[in-house]
Amino acid sequence: MQVIKNIRSYLLEDEFQIRILDGRVNVVNYDSIGQIDDHKVVLKHESESVVITGNHLVVSRLMIDEILVTGEIKNIELR
């Protein structure tokens, strides 16, 4: 049964992940969006929040479980 769980996890990518790229932040498997504006994006996952702050922030990709934030990113904070 563990093999099936591992394959499912690999294929569906069900872990919460934050990928920091050049001028972009990609968050996968978040639960909800708390706030979006051009200076702050707040994403919630279980009992934690990811707060992305900066200037000219734009949501470049928004899917059911994935978001890509671009712009002049100054800070990424886990609360």
Question: CA-CA distance, 6 to 57, in Å (whole number)?
Answer: 35
Sign of CA dihedral 18, 24, 30, 35: positive
CATH of 15-78 given 3.30.70.260, 2.60.40.2000, 1.10.287.10, 3.20.10.10: 2.60.40.2000
What is the pLDDT, as a whole number, of residue 71? 96
pLDDT tens-digit profile of 3-62? 766 666 666 667 899 999 988 999 999 999 999 999 999 999 998 999 999 999 999 999
- Where does residue 24 fall: left (phi above 0), alpha (psi -120 to 50 degrees), or beta otherwise? beta
Q: Is 24 helix (H, G, I), strand (E, B) or coil?
A: strand
Domain boundaries along the sequence of the chain: 15-78
What's the pLDDT at 12?
Answer: 65
Check residue 10 and give its pLDDT.
64
pLDDT tens-digit map of 56-77:
999 999 998 899 999 999 999 9
Pull the structure tokens for residue 66: 């994935």
Q: Please give the model's pTM, rounded to 2 decimal places.
A: 0.81
